Structure 1
Amino acid sequence: MKLRSPMPELKGETKWLNGTVTKQELIGRKPTLIHFWSVSCHLCKEIMPEVIQLRDRYRNELNVIAVHMPRSNEDTEVDKIKKVTKKYKISHPVFIDNSLKLSDAFENEYVPAYYVFDKYGLLRHYQSGGSGMKMLEKRINKILAET
């Protein structure tokens, strides 16, 4: 996705965990962080506590949505995803993307990956990989300062 692209519709899920969310519910209220992860990604699990800290720190100012993007057939087991979600305290909505429909809409190829949208639903920041959480928080703060 290019910067300033509109947020794709959150459609094509295999299942939602922790509630469902629509694009319309997110836009116009506050910025949104959408993070892609996978149960087979060691780095995703390693960095998840920092994502959870961000979620908790900005609870009232930032929407946080997780997208589980499988990297293999074994990653598509919903019970396994539920178990890992619980273990890592992912209490925000989780879009299970077993058919990769949302991943394709985002043109996302990597986990972990982070997309930050402003309150109007425009992409303002993208990054992938496990490092750079300070940069991610800086970008979130910059977008929050604009709202």
Structure 2
Amino acid sequence: MTIAELCIFASVMLYLLTIVPVKWISVGRAGRYDNARPRDPAFYDEGIRERALGAHQNGIEAFPFFAAAVLLAEFRTAPQNLINELSVLFLIVRTAYVLTYVGDRPSLRSILWVIGFLITVAIFFLPVLRNYLSL
């Protein structure tokens, strides 16, 4: 298993772990998270819970393109070291993205989103670059 493939798994864990703390912290408090109604919109209506849900949902949205890009690059025999390095960089940027989302830093969050997207695009096009740049 490659580092990039482990990063695919880690990106799933990142978006799952984004929402868990806000649920866990409020379990047992009156009027808070109810596991019988896990998608209750009233729970996510404000503050950190709303931002954590947004970061979680964005992680779900970003995952398919990242996973497809990594697998395509590997199947098309792009340089594995570049796939690995870009995948780790993607995870670092996505982690920072989650922290800025939950921390209510919208401008920095948007910049990090663009960087993460560009990293995924770069991974996706690594097989093409290999042919033109002799990588």
TM bucket (normalised to shorter chain) is 0.3 to 0.5
> Which structure's CA Rg is the greater one?
2
Which protein has the bigger helix share? 2
Considering fraction of residues, name the structure with more strand.
Answer: 1
- Give the TM-score normalised by the residue count of structure 2: 0.35
Q: With structure 1 as the length reference, what TM-score do the two structures score?
A: 0.32
